[in-house]
A and B are shown apart, each in its own frame.
Chain A
Amino acid sequence: MQINDEELKNASWDARIKLTQQEEKELHEQLQTFFKMAKVLQKIDLGEAEASFGAIKGYNTLRKDIIEPSLPLQLSLENAPDADSSSFLVPKIVEE
C-alpha cells in the first residue's frame, strides 16, 4: 500500500505538525515497511473479539461528586509562556 503525499499532509495537519521534506521522505519509507508488516492484520481471523481499550477492565471509574480544591490559579499560570494575572495569553485567532 502506498500513502500519497496529500494523505500524509492531512495526517500531519491533524497532529498540528509540519514535517520537513526529509521527514516526509523518511516517514514514507517507514510506512512502506509498516504496511507490509501490517498486512497480517487483515489476514488474522479475530472472530468475535471485542476491541480492548485498557489493560484493566472497568478501571475508568468516576470519583464521588464532591467538590475538592483544585490547582491554585497562580500555580496554574506559573509555567505559561505568556499570561496575565488571571489568563493564559495567546496570539489572535485570525490572520492579519
Chain B
Amino acid sequence: MNNRSYSARQLKEQIKNKSLSPQELSSSIISLCNSVQEKYNAFISIDPDIISKEIEALFDDKLKVGDNAPLFGFSYSLGDNIATSGYVTTCASKMLSTYKPPLDAHVFLKLKENGAIIIGKTNMEEFGIGCSGESSYFKGVKNPWNTKHTAGNGAAAAVLTGVVNFSLASDVRGELRQAASYCGVFALKPTYGRISRRGLLDSASSLENIGLMAGNTMDLAAALTAVAGHDPHDVTSLRSEAPDYISLLEGNSKELQAAVPENWQDAPYLEDELKDIFQGQLKKLEELGIKIHFVQLPHFQHSSLTATIISAVEAFSNLANYDGVRFGYRAEGRHLQEMYTLTRSEGFSSKLKKFLTFGALVSSAKYYNDYFLKAQKLRSVITKELEDCLQRYDLLLTPTTPFRAPGPGILPGREELPDPAGYYTAAANLAGLPALTYPLHTKGLPYGLQFTGKKEDELTLLKAALLLENENTLAFPNFDFNNQGV
C-alpha cells in the first residue's frame, strides 16, 4: 500500500463505513514507514504509539476530529526543525539530538485541527542549510529513484514513496524546492509570512519560511488552505486573510503571461539535457495558452551569492544561542568560554562550523561594507527587479535547479560558497515571493520547473501547475515494499 494508490479520500470512506479497523490501518502505515526508513533514511523520528493514537482518534466518533475536517485521513510529515512537543526536534544536529521542545509549532496545531495524521519527523540538512545530503547528524537521505543520489531531504523522499500525502519543510535559499526537484514531486514555498513561522527553529529569519510538498497540486492546495493565515503570535505573519485555495482552483483561469529570464542558461553546472527539457516545457505551456516573454533580469544571476552571504550572517547570529546552557548538547569545559567553544565545535557538523565562521567573517568590521552591506543592498535591487517584472507578467519561469540530484562523483558545487543549487531558487527567498516547483519526470532522475509569482498570489502558481498536471501523465515509480523495490 502507498498513499498514491490508496488516497486520503478513499481512506475517509473506509473509516466512515468502518470497513477498515484502526489497528489494520496503523499497522499498515507503520510497516510502510519502517520500509521507507530502512531503504532511504527519510525519517529522524517515527513513533508507532503516536501514529496509532492519531488513527484511533479518526475512528472515534466522540472525539473532535470529525470526518468533515478538511484533511481527515491525510497523512503528513514535518521537517525536524519544526517544533513538536511529542517528538524530539533535532534540526538534524548532534546539538539538539535529544531536544524535546516545550511547545508545538503553529502548523502542527493547525494540521491537527484539520484532521491530518502526523507520521513522523523527516531528515534534512543540519538546521535546514543546504540540500546536498552532507551534514545531517543522522546521515543523508537516499533518493528513491536511485539510492546512489541524494534526495535532498526526507520530506521529498516521504512524499515520493507515498508514505505521506504531504510534507512540510523549511526553505532558506530554496532547499524545499531543490529536494522536490531532485525527487520529482510538487513543492510550494509560499509568500514570506503566509504560513506562520512560530515553532520553526530557523537559521536565517529573514529568508526562511515553511513550505509544502505533495504528490499533486490538489493535495498541495488542501494542505496550504489548512496552514495558511494570520498568526497573532508570529510578528512576521501576514495580516491578510488566506483564501480557500481548493475552491478557487476550481474557477476559470485567465490567460496567463509568463516571463523567462533571457540569461537563464548562464547557470553554472547547467545540464545540457535540462536545456532541451526546459525549452520543451516552454513550448508546451504556450500550447496550453500561457504566453511566454523573454525578459531582462540583470541581477537575478547574483541571487544565490546574495542569499548565501545574508543567510550565513543570520545563521551566525541565530545559532549563537546553541551554547550548551539552556538546552541541547553540552561539552565539558574548564570554564564558561571553553564550554561554549567545545560545545559548539563538537555539537555542530564540520560543514556548519565552516559556514558559521564564514558568516562571522563577512559581518566583521573589515568585510561588512564590501560584502554584507552590499548583499543587503543587492537584495533590494533584486526584489525591485522581480516585483517590476511581476507587475507586467503573472509568473516567472525557470528550471528549479541547474542539475539533477547530486550523487557520488557528481556533486556539483559540493560545499561551494555560494551553493550553485540555489541559482534559480534563492531570488524568491530574498524577495519573499511565492515559488512552486513542478516535477519533470524524465528517463533518469527528475528535474523541476519553477514558477515564481507575485506576493500573496499562490493561487496563480497552483493554477499553472494544475494546468500542466492535467495535460501530463507523471511517471511516479511504483514502490512495492513487499517485494523490496521500485
Contacts and interface: CB of A to CB of B under 8 A. Distances in A.
Interface in A52-93: 52-56, 59-63, 71, 75-76, 78-82, 88, 90-93
A39 to B, nearest CB: 10
Given A15-B359, A17-B341, A49-B381, A78 B102 contact: yes
B360 interface: yes
B431 A88 contact: no
A91 B364 contact: no
Nearest to A47: B381
B102 A71 contact: yes
Contacts of A19: 345, 353-354, 357
B236 A56 contact: yes
B458 interface: no
Given A7-B361, A23-B350, A55-B432, A16 B381 contact: no
A80 B327 contact: yes
B323 interface: yes
A52 B207 contact: no
Interface residues of B, number: 70
B405 interface: no
B373 interface: yes
A74 B357 CA distance: 34
Contacts of B348: 17
How many chain A residues sit at the interface, stated as a range, is: 35 or more
Nearest to B428: A55
A37 B338 CA distance: 35
Contacts of B417: 30-31, 33-34, 37
Contacts of B112: none
Interface stretch (B71-79, B132-140, B274-282, B329-337): B329-337
B206 interface: yes
A91 B335 contact: yes
B372 to A, nearest CB: 9
B340 interface: yes
B360 A52 contact: no
B326 A79 contact: yes
A51 B330 CA distance: 37
A19 B350 CA distance: 8
B350 A52 contact: no
Given A30-B358, A41-B374, A46-B378, A92 B336 contact: yes
Contacts of B416: 30, 33
A18 B380 contact: no
Given A8-B361, A30-B415, A52 B379 contact: yes
B356 interface: yes
B325 A80 contact: yes
Contacts of A54: 192, 206, 236, 432
B375 A93 contact: no
A21 to B, nearest CB: 12
B100 interface: yes
Interface in A19-51: 19-20, 23, 26-27, 30-31, 33-34, 37-38, 40-42, 44, 46, 49-51
B476 interface: no
A59 B235 contact: yes
Nearest to A27: B354
B193 interface: yes
Contact of A42 (B353, B370, B377): B370
A17 B348 CA distance: 9
B329 A30 contact: no
Contacts of A44: 299, 302, 374, 378
B305 A59 contact: no
Interface in B222-239: 232, 235-236, 238
Contacts of B358: 11, 27, 30-31, 34
B99 interface: yes
Contacts of B400: none
B328 interface: yes
Contacts of B329: 81
Interface string B167-200: 0000000000000000000000000110000000
Interface string B193-214: 1000000000000110000000
B453 to A, nearest CB: 14
Interface of B: 99-100, 102-103, 192-193, 206-207, 232, 235-236, 238, 299, 302, 305, 309, 316, 320, 323-330, 333-342, 344-345, 348, 350, 353-354, 356-361, 364, 366, 370-371, 373-381, 383, 415-418, 429-432
5 contacts: A23-B354, A51-B380, A52-B377, A91-B333, A91-B334
Closest 10 CB pairs of A and B: A55-B432, A51-B376, A81-B330, A79-B327, A55-B192, A11-B361, A14-B360, A52-B380, A34-B417, A11-B360
Given A33-B417, A79-B328, 6 more contacts: A11-B361, A11-B364, A31-B358, A50-B377, A51-B377, A52-B377
